[in-house]
Structure 1
Amino acid sequence: MANERPITIDDLLTVGSVGNPQVSPDGRWVAYTVSSRDFDEDKRRTQIWMVSTDGGEPIPMTSSDYSASSPRWSPDNKYLSFSASKGEGAKNQVWNLNRLGGEAEQVTSVKQGISGFEWSPDGSRLLLIIQDPKPADLTEDKDDDKKPLPHVIDRMQFKRDYVGYLDRRRMHIYTYTPGEKNPRQVTFGDYDDSDPVWSPDGKSVAFVSDRSEDPDLHWGTDIWIVNVDDPDSGITQVTTNEGRDDSPAWSPDGRSIAYRTATGFDVGGSALTPTRYLASTVVGRDERKILTPDLDRNIADPQYSANGKKIVFKLEDSGQVHFASVDKDGRSLVRNLEQQVNVRDFATGGGKTVLLLSRSDRPMEIYQFDDGTLDQLTHVSDKTLNGVARADVEKLQFESADGTPVEAFYYRPLDFDSAKRYPTILWLHGGPASQFTYGFSPTAQLFAANGYVVIMPNPRGSVGYGEAFAKGTVAKWGERDVEDVMAAVDYGIDLGLVDADRLGVGGWSYGGILTNFVITQTDRFKAAMSGASLGLTTANYGHDHYQLMYELEFGLPWEFPERWVKLSPFSKVQDITTSTLWMGGALDWNVPIINSEQMYIGMKRLGRDTQLVVYPNEHHGIRRPSFERDRLERWLVWFDDRLK
């Protein structure tokens, strides 16, 4: 480390982000995406590459002049397909690259564009996900495409961040044979359809949909099957669980479907999130068999092995995401990779398995996996991070105020000296149904490179520690979770790492919300950064996109007004003495900017040290590269000025 320099904001913004690995049918190649920042255009772009499973130099498959995503191999290994919007005002379409060479050729010409696609098993046609068209999509007049029209609303769920006001244009499934004029619609109705998967014989598609009386007031989804050659015959309901069933995967013989199932309210990301189990059912029987009944941990993305004997999946567990498997009958659970990593994705093909994973000192890269060993195939971050020091991190366990075991990741600053105590930033994750992991944390690495101890706890409300732990904050935000994160700070003090007189706290989304609950209950922190957080909770009812979650967790505001007041950090804004930086996107309908405005104006009126930064045309996440840079710079200045 002596000859390495500290990581910088430039480093973090220059590193490309690897995603969406896809193994070719012959197992010889892996296609994947790399997203990077174009600082001249001030936007992000995504490019498709491929690399041999034998290793070697990766090959760019699409130009850096436009963004391309969703790489997919045709079953005959002839084409590498992808989706892209090529040209000004163009809609997202499917494109084919012939493996023998030549330019990409456009395959679909859907007026409103496509949202997803998959090849049929025999390669003769495509499955498409298409949203119902707007009236302007059906005309040849291009001038009416941008003409503003009033939003006419009659739904309970009428907003969605990054989308805007919702109407009744739904996502449906189509099939398309290349060369034909139009795709053929196979699902219908006032419902959204997602997660479509071809059956092995190519005659049917399994998909996920909430077809209850009013999906906006329902918390479940089921798995359905449609015969794509005879959609008029109707659809077949495969599962009837009251909770959420999703992520269907066919067995190779087409007789069974493995899927993810939840056994209660499942309002994604909220404290109401139940354990999501691995399940399977025989097609036509609706006999759910939970394959992991004693595993009180979330699974994701199940997939049958090529011989149908095992099911592989991702497994959240105690600050890690494992690549795991069970026999098809649920026996012999195995964590296939016993390393301190975070597995984001995996793919199989041609007898090969690849994992997309990150480590605490390395961003996401693709590795070939074989019987517990890893062979790194991509090295996207090497160009930027070679010669750059990265902080050491350790996951530790301690007891909270009520004796509950809690874990946190502790990052030590570069050139750490055990004889010294350091200024410390308590950094809190969003969700709350999320977890910090052994994955690469740009934020923690940046703070550590600038001389801070960084504590990243998984308090009550986090996933990876069982359903009771995850539900420890239901309608009790700012109670046990505050105790847990403060216990993480006190443990750092006991270890001799933390300078108790130089404490900072921050986070984004629920991390910002929890920050608000912390600084309204203690004056121990000298500086705080609260991003996309909560102020007066009642003001969000009908304004953000969480209407069903509020009703299920808090009750209706006119029926439980005292509870809504208690769950509002704004109710205690007068108790904040911590210097606080408020931040958010002007168009955020996830946690709207009105919350940060309320908290800021309360502190400003009280004469406290505070500042509000609003990013124009940004939503819940900050995506414009210049704004990403601005945010990181402001974080460092805010904490440095008050903690050093």
Structure 2
Amino acid sequence: MADLEPDDFHDVTRPEAVAVSPDGERVAFVARESDPEEDERPASLFVAPADGSRDPHRLTRVSGASQPAWSPDGTRLAFVGTRDKDLDRRVGRDEDDDETEADDEEGGDGSDENEDDNGGSDEPKPQVWYFDVELGGDAVQVTDREEGVREFDWGPDGERIVVSARDPTDEQAEMLAERRDDGPIEVERLQHKANGVGWLDEVTSYLFVVDVESGEEERLDDAYGQGAREPIFGLQPAWGASGRIAFASNRTDRPDDSGVLDLYTIAPDGSNLRKLTDSERRTYAYEWSPDGERIAFVAGDPDNWYRPAEICVANSGDVDDDGASAEDWSVTASLDRTVAMLTEPNWLDDETLLAAIGDEGLSRLVRAPADRDDPDRVFPAQGRDRNAVVAHADGGTVGVVLSDPVDGIDVFALGAADLDAADPDSLACLSALNDDLLSDIEAPGCRRISYENGDGEEIEAIVHLPPEFDPETDDPRPVIASIHGGPMAYDAPGWAFTYTYWTDQGYVVYRPNYRGSTSYGREFAESLMGTRGDLETDDVVSGLEELAARGWADPDRSLVTGFSYGGITTANVVTRSDAFTAAAAEHGIYDFRSTFGTDDNHLWHDWEFGMPWEEPETYADISSITDVDEIETPLLVNAGDQDWRCPPTQAEQLYVSVRKQGVPAKLVIYQNEHHNISRPERQIHRLESITEWFREHNPGYETAHGTDEDGDRSEEGDEDSCEDGTDR
């Protein structure tokens, strides 16, 4: 077996979205690949038979693809793609069109390297395209908007689509051009920036109804986006069988000072606007019932993100003449579990919904009757050792992406009638996206453990073990605590290159679901509300003590890291504990007072902690910088220079404060990166820099990793890997 190398990251392919055809016979999916030459990770579109009888057929290459959606008759597959204009669009569809091929000579394929945050550049913009899967041929371009298209949905007749797109006035277009020419940025709105979007402006996003054949469009003037969350959530258009179009907006008095997203519906001619929700929730992921009479959606509390999000259903027509909200009800509240991130409800029929929830450190499927709160957990064939990343259902078929810590991440399908079966005959694996990579390396072990923290509460963690490690007989290994972000999130069993690489290097990796994590119920999540540092540190350090007591981990060779809120927690751990040999805090906030107004999260800071000038002691208490003089642990800090969720100045403050005291520290800033690391080479550098930092401050690295005095890999060692299972 070969050693896993950082550059092997280029061989990883991850499926991100699935779309089942209306007849249930085919599954389209988007998979993100790596292009080392361009240093990009483009997303490509594939289609596979739902029974797994043939390998997936690739439809796109190089240029990006997202949001796959089948036409109602299943003959066309549409998607949002950033590609060169097709020939028809270059020369114009009509003889009277003045657009010429020369107008587009500067276009490139699929790159956003030079694109302005608000959509201005010579690069292609995201547009809606479709493949005719019956006739074949290349993709056909549907939209041609200067600012691009963000989202879309098919109309029930299959002849029109609805899209959401920015629509600047002439004056606003001039302002955007000035910005692109390095002119001043002038902002009057409260939500003045958004991570990954950039400096915001006054340009409004609207819904447009577009004829698929001609490209002609009509703006729906009353269907516009607004509010602090619109740059992140969008308008989310959904066109139902009854003819009405659902979308999200915030029409409160101060929309930029509110996390509300209300559900509206409108007729496709722009008339008869209806508001279906009560301005008390953040709603999203709209899905109409097949008959168009009801609409399902996810609802969360805009002033309490710890509270589990629920699947709700509304009657689409129940709006009083005075504008009162429609009747709606939750169908999952009794579970006390949150809707899984990146998922949406799906209708199995007019009376039944399918959704994914976070359930004790696992994303899994539930089925719920649409008229009451009586959900059932289904799909027992998934087990507790692999995670349901995303799912979609149609035509009696369920498509689901499953991530297994040993076998990798792939696309599966099964019949909806088999959702209760422990070993369903219809379950088929449709892809083998990483088989070549996985076949060359030894599989790590993975276990789910539980332990008591200092307050006597039970905490769960996912533990990844080195391939050759026998936990019953081998000596303890160096250990890495990897802390998830959020904190309103959770870790689940699944395959990730980082954990596989670290275990291949000889490390035990544990991922604790500390207090504040979702998927364990509202009380567990809300235990962290209004505080920072003490609870998470207890849960992380208690996990280290548990692994040491089991003989799996050597506490004298222990490392800790985390990204986003995991970075925040890492800094809190090293201010409150000396349990770890070294630490790496990534993309975090360390001084909540100074980050206020420089990040895009003023709403969150407000509802959980109050205003910093009103609650200065609270802001001091929740900031690790307050106790920075307690840090003795060697600390690496990294950030993206355009991260407006956790601004890079936060990393600078922490780094300088630690170095000023003579503690070993290193600062890494990734240029042109937001609150993520997008470019493959930078992702590889991130992994290498953290790993090297851990090696530098791990006194027993060579011994633990099985190297001789010259640093070469030894051939000795136990080749048995830990069996998968649940260890309570």
What's the TM-score once normalised by structure 1's chain length?
A: 0.94
> 2:136 matched to 1:101?
yes
C-alpha displacement at 1:319, in angstroms? 0.8
Q: Describe the SS at the equivalent of 1:249.
A: strand
* Contact in 1 for aligned 2:262/2:278 (Cα 8 Å): yes
Which aligned pairs between 1:509-548 and structure 2 lie closer than 5 A? 509-548=564-603
> 2:211 matched to 1:169?
no
Aligned letter for 1:576? I
Match of 1:208 among 236, 245, 248: 248
Q: Describe the SS at the equivalent of 2:42.
A: strand
Alpha-carbon spacing, 1:124–1:200, altered in 2? closer, same or farther (3 Å): same
d(CA) in 2 for partners of 1:142 and 1:507? Answer: 37
What are the superposed Cα offsets for residues 439-477 of structure 1, whole Å, 9 maximum, x if unpaired? 213222221111111111000110101112112222211
d(CA) in 2 for partners of 1:540 and 1:566? Answer: 15
| CA RMSD after TM alignment | 2.1
Match of 2:299 among 256, 261, 270: 261
Which aligned pairs between 1:527-606 and structure 2 lie closer than 5 A? 527-606=582-661
Match of 1:328 among 370, 376, 400: 370
Unpaired runs of 5+ residues, structure 1, are 267-271
* Contact in 1 for aligned 2:332/2:374 (Cα 8 Å): no
Match of 1:77 among 69, 74, 78: 74
Q: Which residue of 2 aligns with 1:308?
A: 350
Of 573-582 and 8-17, deviating more is 8-17
> 2:254 matched to 1:219?
no
> 2:19 matched to 1:22?
yes
What are the superposed Cα offsets for residues 269-322 of structure 1, whole Å, 9 maximum, x if unpaired? xxx421112222223332232222321101254545343221110111111000
d(CA) in 2 for partners of 1:330 and 1:125? Answer: 34
Q: Which residue of 1 aligns with 2:321?
A: none
Match of 2:517 among 433, 439, 462: 462
* Contact in 1 for aligned 2:224/2:249 (Cα 8 Å): no
> 2:424 matched to 1:427?
no
Match of 2:464 among 407, 411, 416: 411
Q: Which residue of 2 aligns with 1:613?
A: 668
* Contact in 2 for aligned 1:424/1:454 (Cα 8 Å): yes
* Contact in 1 for aligned 2:237/2:247 (Cα 8 Å): yes
What are the superposed Cα offsets for residues 229-248 of structure 1, whole Å, 9 maximum, x if unpaired? 2x243x11112151223222
* Contact in 2 for aligned 1:136/1:144 (Cα 8 Å): no
d(CA) in 1 for partners of 2:638 and 2:178? Answer: 36
Aligned letter for 1:239? T
Q: Which residue of 1 aligns with 2:312?
A: 279
* Contact in 2 for aligned 1:110/1:182 (Cα 8 Å): no
What are the superposed Cα offsets for residues 548-578 of structure 1, whole Å, 9 maximum, x if unpaired? 1111111111111111112211111111111
* Contact in 2 for aligned 1:6/1:390 (Cα 8 Å): no
d(CA) in 1 for partners of 2:623 and 2:503? Answer: 32
d(CA) in 2 for partners of 1:110 and 1:419? Answer: 61
Q: Which residue of 1 aligns with 2:151?
A: 116
d(CA) in 2 for partners of 1:627 and 1:471? Answer: 35
What are the superposed Cα offsets for residues 164-215 of structure 1, whole Å, 9 maximum, x if unpaired? 11112233211111344542112345624622211113x2111222221112
d(CA) in 2 for partners of 1:383 and 1:449? Answer: 17
* Contact in 1 for aligned 2:366/2:378 (Cα 8 Å): yes
d(CA) in 1 for partners of 2:499 and 2:194? Answer: 30
What's the TM-score once normalised by structure 2's chain length?
A: 0.83
C-alpha displacement at 1:485, in angstroms? 1.2
> 2:56 matched to 1:58?
yes
> 2:76 matched to 1:42?
no
Alpha-carbon spacing, 1:117–1:500, altered in 2? closer, same or farther (3 Å): same
Q: Which residue of 1 aligns with 2:238?
A: 197
Aligned letter for 2:306? T
d(CA) in 2 for partners of 1:483 and 1:495? Answer: 18
Alpha-carbon spacing, 1:521–1:145, altered in 2? closer, same or farther (3 Å): closer
Of 244-253 and 571-580, deviating more is 244-253
C-alpha displacement at 1:13, in angstroms? 3.1
Of 81-90 and 591-600, deviating more is 81-90
Aligned letter for 2:336? D
The structure with the largest strand share of the pair is 1
Q: How many residues are paired up?
A: 631
Of 153-162 and 239-248, deviating more is 239-248
Match of 1:445 among 500, 505, 517: 500
d(CA) in 1 for partners of 2:149 and 2:437? Answer: 35
* Contact in 2 for aligned 1:50/1:58 (Cα 8 Å): yes
Match of 1:133 among 165, 168, 174: 168
Q: Which residue of 2 aligns with 1:382?
A: 435
Unpaired runs of 5+ residues, structure 2, are 85-106, 108-122, 319-325, 702-728
